[in-house]
Amino acid sequence: MRNFTDILTKLLGDAFEAAGYDRDFCKVQVSNRPDLCEYQCNGAMAGAKKFHKAPFVIAEDVVAKLKENGAETCFSAEVVRPGFINLKVVPSYLSDYLKEEAADPNLSLPQVDQPKKIIIDYGGPNVAKPLHVGHLRAAVIGESIKRLCRAVGNEVLGDVHLGDWGLQMGLIITELKHRQPDLPYFKDVEQDFPKEPPFTIGELEEIYPAASAKSKEDSAYHEEALEATHLLQEGKPGYRALWQQILDVSVADLKRNYDRLNVHFDLWKSESDAQPYIPAMIEQLKADGVARLDQGALVVDVKKPEDKKEIPPCIILKSDGASLYATTDCATIVEREKLFKPDEIIYVVDKRQHMHFEQVFRTVKKAGIVDDSTELVHVGFGTMNGKDGKPFKTREGGVMRLQVLLDDIKANMEEKIRGNHNVRTEDAGKTAGQVALAAVKYGDLSNQASKDYVFDVDKFTSFEGNTGPYILYTIVRIKSILKKAQEEGSPVDARNLLPALSEEEKKLMLDLSGFGSSVYAAYEELAPHKICAYIYQLSNDFNRFYHETRILAEEDQKRKESYLALLKLTADVLEKSIDILGFDAPDYM
């Protein structure tokens, strides 16, 4: 289904052409003077020079043709000096359009002509370290972009891309060896290793920072960790077995945490999965002359003449032969090409890694690892700051665990909700969890991803203003009216929709007609904040309508059924939108 700006642009184009002018001037946009009209076309002014005619004359000619073509049954048009064409939707045309929208399973959200296969690389947690607030944005924004790409018909795979390789693993192994030297993993004889891991997730989370601190002070310890990393990478059986257990324990815990965020990955691949692809990739880079030696290191030159800033060469191997972060990311693309052949890979990673991705993208294109048509995109996000404008910390100044943050906000929500007699005591915990998640996610997503933002708990958890709880509250309000209607036997059916009577009702209807174009625009720009802006406006306009209108008490039965249909569509559009954002609404709150 096409949206009104497209339909109007087409109608205006036909009229411009029929009047002997140029289609190029026919573009219609949402009005920037909503007090005067709903849509407008400013093409007559733009065309005046070319046609040596006054804009007013051109606009009059076009509107005359519009009338001749019968467009006035859908839109009324008026010419305003110097040459604006102001447009309004005819109420019956609007309600007919919404009936079709309601009948469409996609609620008129356009579907892509050619579905792409897209991999979204988001999450990026490192094993054996708890999720902290620094991981929140990747998870929340990535999940939403994944759902958004899927909602318009693409085939999408979300990949967590675990950090499970490198020195961090050697450090954990070394520390375990110091603490429990008698474990079979450290013996040189090959043997069966125990099925049960020798640590819990809690212990693991304590071991890593302890090891990391020691290695900074003690150079012998650091050497030992480097050696352990090396032996692990060589495939020493005891270390491989231990590494596998670290991974298993960590992944089980990460899954629990991501589940709680309503974040679900299709692929649990990791950096280690890419390692087997490195040797052949390096050989190819050398054989093709793509890489060159620079002071013993293997590098790929990726700068281009048109660059405005310096793009340093991408280092593939250090002079001691060790691979780096960029090596792993390039090899991961080799693997993805082999397993999935994606049309596009989107990385949702901190914007401070922008240079890294620029180098990796250029390297794989230059090396022909992906072909030119493959889109590689870095959606870089800014930092989540505290109220002091500095990166978000605990009160003590430490890194805050994600679990702690969510628990705090949930407790805060539970207190607010418990006062509400609509919520059964046994549901209060679950509902508080749902509302807390909406508060956190909406608080994040409503900001443009690339910007830093202030994580303000009081603001985000408020039931008023541009917040997740406000959106949920609007949905719950509608659901409760619909439930009452159902109880009294009133039908809720989109076919009952009538043309709007009041300004408030028409505004709500216009918002609903914009669902498809708003969400599709968010997809084209990979910008979930546009969906937030859309549903905030929709919620405000709904609540304005609600306060002006008696719905269940309406005496005219046909009118009442029309209101119920309108409420149902509003709830459906809001729920589909928040589903794309990655949260859902309770029945009561």
Q: How far is the CB of 139 from ligand ARG (least distance, A)?
A: 12
Check: CB of residue 278 under 8 Å from CB of residue 323: yes
Rounded distance, CA 439 to CA 461, Å?
Answer: 5
What's the token pair of residue 258? 């991501």
Q: Closest by alpha carbon to 402, among 351, 436, 432?
A: 436
What's the token pair of residue 11? 């109608």
Rounded distance, CA 467 to CA 436, Å?
Answer: 11
When binding is defined by CB under 6 A, the residue of 38, 61, 101, 121 that contacts ligand ARG is 121
Q: In terms of CB distance, is 449 or 585 closer to ligand ARG?
A: 449
Q: How far is the CB of 156 from ligand ARG (least distance, A)?
A: 16
Check: CB of residue 507 under 8 Å from CB of residue 545: yes
Contact flag: residue 163 with ligand ARG (CB under 6 A)? yes
Measured CA distances, 51 to 21, 22, 84 (Å): 8, 9, 16
When binding is defined by CB under 6 A, the residue of 3, 40, 126, 412 that contacts ligand ARG is 126
Other Cβ atoms within 10 Å of 335 Cβ, number:
16
Q: How far is the CB of 452 from ligand ARG (least distance, A)?
A: 17
Burial of residue 424, with CB atoms counted within 10 A of its CB: 0-12 exposed, 13-18 middle, 19 or more buried: exposed
Rounded distance, CA 148 to CA 3, Å?
Answer: 18
Q: How far is the CB of 159 from ligand ARG (least distance, A)?
A: 8
Q: How far is the CB of 107 from ligand ARG (least distance, A)?
A: 33
Q: Which stretch binds ligand ARG (CB under 6 A): 118-126, 276-284, 316-324, 524-532?
A: 118-126
One character per residue 190-209, x = contact with ligand ARG (rule: CB under 6 A): --------------------
Q: How far is the CB of 126 from ligand ARG (least distance, A)?
A: 5
Which residues neighbour 302 within 8 Å (Cβ) at sequence distance 6 or greater? 311, 313, 314, 358, 359, 362, 363, 366
Q: Kindly report the backbone phi and psi dihedral angles of residue 222, in degrees, each rounded to the nearest multiple of 5, phi listed first.
A: -60, -45
Q: In terms of CB distance, is 152 or 376 closer to ligand ARG?
A: 376
In degrees, rounded to 5, the angle at the alpha carbon of residue 207 between the alpha carbons of residues 271 and 384 is 65
Contact flag: residue 349 with ligand ARG (CB under 6 A)? yes
Burial of residue 101, with CB atoms counted within 10 A of its CB: 0-12 exposed, 13-18 middle, 19 or more buried: buried
Other Cβ atoms within 10 Å of 510 Cβ, number:
20
Q: In terms of CB distance, is 163 or 443 closer to ligand ARG?
A: 163
Contact flag: residue 130 with ligand ARG (CB under 6 A)? no
Sign, CA torsion 524/530/532/534: negative
When binding is defined by CB under 6 A, the residue of 13, 47, 124, 528 that contacts ligand ARG is 124
Q: Which stretch binds ligand ARG (CB under 6 A): 49-57, 119-127, 211-219, 338-346?
A: 119-127
Q: In terms of CB distance, is 241 or 278 closer to ligand ARG?
A: 278
Q: How far is the CB of 199 from ligand ARG (least distance, A)?
A: 21
Q: How far is the CB of 123 from ligand ARG (least distance, A)?
A: 8
Q: How far is the CB of 163 from ligand ARG (least distance, A)?
A: 3
Three-class DSSP labels, 343-409: CEEEEEEEHHHHHHHHHHHHHHHHCCCCCCCCEEEEEEECCEECCCCCECCCCCCCCCEHHHHHHHH
Q: Which stretch binds ligand ARG (CB under 6 A): 120-128, 221-229, 410-418, 554-562?
A: 120-128
One character per residue 316-335, x = contact with ligand ARG (rule: CB under 6 A): -------------x------
Contact flag: residue 467 with ligand ARG (CB under 6 A)? no
Q: How far is the CB of 13 from ligand ARG (least distance, A)?
A: 44
Q: How far is the CB of 272 from ligand ARG (least distance, A)?
A: 12
Q: Which stretch binds ligand ARG (CB under 6 A): 121-129, 165-173, 252-260, 283-291?
A: 121-129
Q: In terms of CB distance, is 120 or 509 closer to ligand ARG?
A: 120
Other Cβ atoms within 10 Å of 465 Cβ, number:
10
Q: How far is the CB of 347 from ligand ARG (least distance, A)?
A: 6
Contact flag: residue 161 with ligand ARG (CB under 6 A)? yes
Residue at token pair 């909602």: 151
* Size of site (CB under 6 A) for ligand ARG: 8
Q: In terms of CB distance, is 208 or 347 closer to ligand ARG?
A: 347
Q: Tell me which residue has its CB nearest to ligand ARG.
A: 124
Give the 3-state secondary structure of residue 69: coil
Q: In terms of CB distance, is 163 or 238 closer to ligand ARG?
A: 163
Interface with ligand ARG (CB under 6 A) = 121, 124, 126, 161, 163, 329, 347, 349
